[in-house]
Each structure stands twice: as C-alpha cells, then as structure tokens.
C-alpha cells in the first residue's frame, strides 16, 4: 500500500486517498468554469519513511508514486534522454545547457506521464472510461494509454487542433469529439460530461494525479544529472501543470531531505497566451482574452493550475517571461540545427526563452540550465513549414548533379 494523503492547496485541509477524487470538496464548490481551479489537491507522502528507505544505489521510485505498480497499464513511457548540448548553449551565450527530451515519449509528448498515472488510478478504481479535454497532446496521450490498457477514452478537443494530433487520437481508437470553440470550451464540456455520465476525468490539474504523473520528469532529471539539482529548469507553460509537477518533484525530494535546495523554475508562455506570466509578474490574475499562438499546446485563456504554478515559480525563486511566435519559430530552428531535436512550437518556446535568460540578467552564463522539450515537432509539421523553404527539384542529369555542390557552398559552414 502506498502511503499518502491529499492536501488542499487552497485551504490546507487533508483528505484520505479515497475520500476525494478531484478538487477539495469545500474549495472546489466555489469553482466556476472560466476561472483557474480552486482547491487543487496535492499528494503528501510519508517523507520520514522515504528518507529512511531511499537508496541512490537502488532507487525505489515507488516511494514517490501515488498508485501501486500492480495497477500500471502496459505502456512504456518516461525514462527519456537527458544530455548536454554545448552547441545549443553556445547559440545563446550560455555555457551549460542540457536537454530533457520528453518528445521521445510513445505518443510524442510529456503528457504520457500524466495519462499513465491516471490510467493506473482508473484500474485501481475499476473505471473503464477516461474523459479529458485537451488542446491535443493530453488527448493523443490518453488515447494511446487507453489503447494499451484496454480502456475507453472520450476526448473533447478544439476543432483547430493540428491534424497529426487528431490522427493520433483517432488511430488509437478514442471517441473524439471536436468542439466548435476553444480549449476552454472543451474543458468545461468535459467536466459536465463526467458530472452527468461518470467515468474518470483526466483534466489537467483537475485530477490531482496529473501533477503527480508530470512530477516524474523532475525526479528523472535529478537522477540523470548525477543526483544534483540543476540551477535552472525552463518550462513551457499553458495550464501550469507541468510547472506544478516539476516543482512537486523537487519539493518532495527536499521534504525527504534528499536535496538541499530547489532549482529555479522559469515559466515560459506565448506572448498572447500569458495569463500565468502576468499573474506572476503583477500579482493580479486575469484571463488571456485571445490566446492566439502558433504554439497550440500552450494556448490557454484560463490556465487551470494558475495558482499553484505561480506559487511554484515564486517559491523556487524563479521568474517568468514570454516569447513571440516569431521567436518560437527561431527557437525551433536553433534547437533543431544545434542539437538534432525537432520540437513542436510549444516545446520550442523553452528553447526560444534561452535567448532571453541572460538579457533578463536573472542568470549567470555558467549556470546549469535544463530545457524541457515537452512535445515532438512531427506533431505539427505545418507550423514548422514556416521555418523552411522546400528546394526546387533538380533534373536527373549530369547538370542537375553538378548543381548540388553549388547549393552546398551557398549553405555555408555547418
């Protein structure tokens, strides 16, 4: 049996694991669609026992996990590469930049971590259907995990989601419901759906285990970094659940006495979808009125986890910044050309932010910076087309062949 309790992040009240399912029953009552969630629950583990039992030589990550392994669906995810990219750092004048490549999860995004844990919880509860709203990746991820785990996925997704993401969900066999509206409309509809028809709701932030699932990326970074805490982790942010999850990883480790300090978390948002950034920098919350950005995965008017995300950034002594769509595309190009990693626009926003860290004077050039690559570029090839020009075809002749060397010279050095 895993030992943990839920704690309400708004009022602090504690609940047993099976006393609650989504939000704090008291604070959640004042929640209305169209505002960030209130009463988001966080899992509190038995940190004294973790401290006693955890061994670096044979790490038992089950100590930090809210669902027992026997409920895990047969879906291999996580354990993604973590490596230094001197060239990426060099492009931005930074000396020690590392990539955590979560684009290499089975469905192509970090969302697999959350979907996996919620599906495990569904197994524990005996729920056969999981419902979510999504800008695209949470849905394609949930569809993949449900396919592997023999569950039904019901998915509300804005009509405008990129084709590759829609293809993924459909191919995995989910019931896909495109909504003529925004992600925020889809979010509201999915809440109403489970309230009326049941099933387990996987909405980000709303189900507490989405934060716990995303937490595993932070635990992995610590281990892969040789049990050291990086100086800074750059996190592309929409609803703020990845940010909350990464914070929770290091907070758990610190509570257990395994690390001395937290990494500074940098929240990166798109210029027009920056409700959390504004909340962090002004202390006042306001929805993003028209969150139009090429980075569909971080396009959110009402970020569900805004309150916890802001607290995570402040408590880690981090900061937030925004990037424009043009900067996101440049970041995508630089990341690909220096490290061989093709990120979707939302993930490329983190790379784009590297160019602003030094200028923000929040950072010294030699500090260790980790860029969280959250989603795969192949999911939105249309967006990346803005970065390239498809070359004219050559004739299949001697003359055609001879033109190649000239083209290479034009490209210049690598």
Ligand X SMILES: *Cc1c(COP(=O)(O)O)cnc(C)c1O
Taking CB under 5 A as the rule, does residue 308 contact Zn ion?
A: no
Among 9, 297, 332, 334, binds ligand X (CB under 6 A): 297
Among 239, 252, 325, 327, binds ligand X (CB under 6 A): 239
**Torsional class of 338: left (φ above 0), alpha (ψ -120 to 50), beta (otherwise):** alpha
What is the x/- site pattern for ligand X, positions 301-330, by CB under 6 A?
------------------------------
Looking at the Cβ atoms of 39 and 238, the one nearer to Zn ion is: 39
The Cβ of residue 177 has, within 10 Å, a number of other Cβ atoms equal to 16
Judging by beta carbons within 10 Å of its beta carbon (0-12, 13-18, 19+), is residue 48 exposed, middle or buried?
Answer: exposed
- Least separation, in Å, of the C-beta of 141 and ligand X? 8
The 10 Å CB-count burial string (b at 16+, else e) for 241-261 is bbbbbbbbbbbbbeebebbee
- Least separation, in Å, of the C-beta of 17 and Zn ion? 16
Among 28, 73, 218, 375, binds ligand X (CB under 6 A): 375
* Alpha helix stretches (DSSP H) within 317-362: 325-339, 345-357
- Between strands 368-373 and 319-323, the pairing is unpaired
Among ligand X, Zn ion, none, the one that 27 touches (CB under a kind-dependent 5 to 8 A) is Zn ion
Residue 201 vs residues 50, 86, 130, 362: alpha-carbon distances, Å: 30, 42, 6, 39
Taking CB under 6 A as the rule, does residue 50 contact ligand X?
A: no
- Least separation, in Å, of the C-beta of 106 and ligand X? 14
146/230 Cα distance (integer angstroms): 34
Taking CB under 6 A as the rule, does residue 100 contact ligand X?
A: no
- Least separation, in Å, of the C-beta of 80 and Zn ion? 34
Taking CB under 5 A as the rule, does residue 40 contact Zn ion?
A: no
Among ligand X, Zn ion, none, the one that 192 touches (CB under a kind-dependent 5 to 8 A) is none
350/355 Cα distance (integer angstroms): 10
Looking at the Cβ atoms of 21 and 111, the one nearer to Zn ion is: 21
| Cβ atoms 103, 64 nearer than 8 A | no
Residue 228 vs residues 78, 98, 224, 250: alpha-carbon distances, Å: 19, 13, 9, 11
Among 37, 118, 217, 298, binds ligand X (CB under 6 A): 298
Taking CB under 6 A as the rule, does residue 161 contact ligand X?
A: no
Taking CB under 5 A as the rule, does residue 10 contact Zn ion?
A: yes
Among 241, 288, 354, 370, binds ligand X (CB under 6 A): 241
What is the DSSP secondary structure assignment for residue 33, as one 8-state letter?
Answer: T
Taking CB under 5 A as the rule, does residue 203 contact Zn ion?
A: no
Taking CB under 6 A as the rule, does residue 215 contact ligand X?
A: no
The footprint of ligand X on residues 127-146 (CB under 6 A) is: 137
| Cβ atoms 41, 48 nearer than 8 A | no
Which residue has its beta carbon closest to ligand X? Answer: 375
Looking at the Cβ atoms of 23 and 336, the one nearer to Zn ion is: 23
- Least separation, in Å, of the C-beta of 399 and ligand X? 44
Taking CB under 6 A as the rule, does residue 236 contact ligand X?
A: yes
Binding residues for Zn ion, how many (CB under 5 A)? 7
124, 287, 131, 105: which is closest to 207 by C-alpha? 131
136/174 Cα distance (integer angstroms): 13
Taking CB under 5 A as the rule, does residue 39 contact Zn ion?
A: yes
Residue where the block lists tokens 């969280």: 372
User: In the chain, how many H helices and how many E strands?
Assistant: 14, 13
- Can you give the binding site for Zn ion, defined by CB under 5 A? 8, 10-11, 24, 26-27, 39
- Can you give the binding site for ligand X, defined by CB under 6 A? 109, 111, 137, 204, 236-243, 297-298, 344, 346-347, 374-375
């Amino acid at each position: 049996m895993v030992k943990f309790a839920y704690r309400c992040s708004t009022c602090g009240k504690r609940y047993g694991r099976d006393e609650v399912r989504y939000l704090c029953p008291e604070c959640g009552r004042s929640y209305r669609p169209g505002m960030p969630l209130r009463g988001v629950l966080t899992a509190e583990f038995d940190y004294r026992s973790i401290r006693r039992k955890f061994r670096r030589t044979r790490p038992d990550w089950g100590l930090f996990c809210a669902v027992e392994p026997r409920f895990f669906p047969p879906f291999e995810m996580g354990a993604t590469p973590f490596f230094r990219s001197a060239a990426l750092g060099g492009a931005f004048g930074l000396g020690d930049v590392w990539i955590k490549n979560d684009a290499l999860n089975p469905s192509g995004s970090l969302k697999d971590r959350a979907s996996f844990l919620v599906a495990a919880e569904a197994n524990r509860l005996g729920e056969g259907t999981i419902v979510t709203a999504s800008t695209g990746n949470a849905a394609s991820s949930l569809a993949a995990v449900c396919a592997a785990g023999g569950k039904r996925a019901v998915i509300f997704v804005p009509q405008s989601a990129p084709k590759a993401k829609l293809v993924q969900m459909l191919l995995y066999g989910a019931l896909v419901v495109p909504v003529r509206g925004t992600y925020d409309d889809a979010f509201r509809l999915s809440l109403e759906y489970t309230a009326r028809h049941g099933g387990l709701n996987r909405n980000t932030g709303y189900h507490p285990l989405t934060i716990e699932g995303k937490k595993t990326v932070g635990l992995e970074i610590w281990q892969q970094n040789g049990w050291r805490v990086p100086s800074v982790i750059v996190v592309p942010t929409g609803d703020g659940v990845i940010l909350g999850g990464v914070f929770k990883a290091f907070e758990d480790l610190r509570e257990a006495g395994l690390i001395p300090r937290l990494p500074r978390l940098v929240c990166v948002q798109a210029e027009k979808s920056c409700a959390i950034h504004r909340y962090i920098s002004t202390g006042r919350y306001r929805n993003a009125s028209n969150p139009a950005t090429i980075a569909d995965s971080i396009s959110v008017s009402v970020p569900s986890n805004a309150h916890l995300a802001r607290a995570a950034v402040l408590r880690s002594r981090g900061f937030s910044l925004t990037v424009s769509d043009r900067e996101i595309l440049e970041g995508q190009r630089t990341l690909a050309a220096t490290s061989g990693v093709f990120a979707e626009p939302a993930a490329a926003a983190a790379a784009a932010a590297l160019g602003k860290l030094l200028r923000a004077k929040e950072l010294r050039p030699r500090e260790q910076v980790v860029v969280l690559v959250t989603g795969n570029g192949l999911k939105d090839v249309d967006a990346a087309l803005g970065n390239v020009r498809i070359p004219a075809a050559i004739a299949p002749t001697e003359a055609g062949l001879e033109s190649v060397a000239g083209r290479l010279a034009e490209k210049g050095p690598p």
